Amino acid sequence: MKSGSYFAAKLQTVLIVLLVLGMVLIAQQWSKDVYKIGMLVLIGAALIQVPFGNALPEWNFGQSMKFLVIGLAILASVFAVSILIVPTLLRLGRGG
């Protein structure tokens, strides 16, 4: 496979650009709407970057999407478990 068809490497580059763009949009101080867009861009790019930070750059589209779906499922599971154990941790913290 030639280097020009490496989807994962291209997506990682796009994600880095989106992360920087999101930070720039958040840093501006003139428009609350632009700030909100920056937050959405930053959150979305960060959530996709979490699993994609471990993807091999030479993966094609199919391999990349499979890895992304698995990674996002793991991330969602961690969020769900974290939310579910909060009441238990609160009880433990309060000594009850």
The per-residue pLDDT of the chain, averaged, comes to 87
| This prediction's pTM | 0.70
61 has pLDDT over 90: no
Judge residue 80's burial from the number of C-beta atoms within 10 Å of its C-beta, 0-12 exposed, 13-18 middle, 19 or more buried.
exposed
Q: Averaged over 63-70, what is the pLDDT?
A: 88
Q: Is the pLDDT of residue 56 over 50?
A: yes
Give the pLDDT of residue 43. Answer: 93
What pLDDT, on a 0 to 100 scale, did the predictor assign at position 70?
92
- Alpha helices (H) in 1-96, listed in sequence order: 7-27, 32-52, 61-93
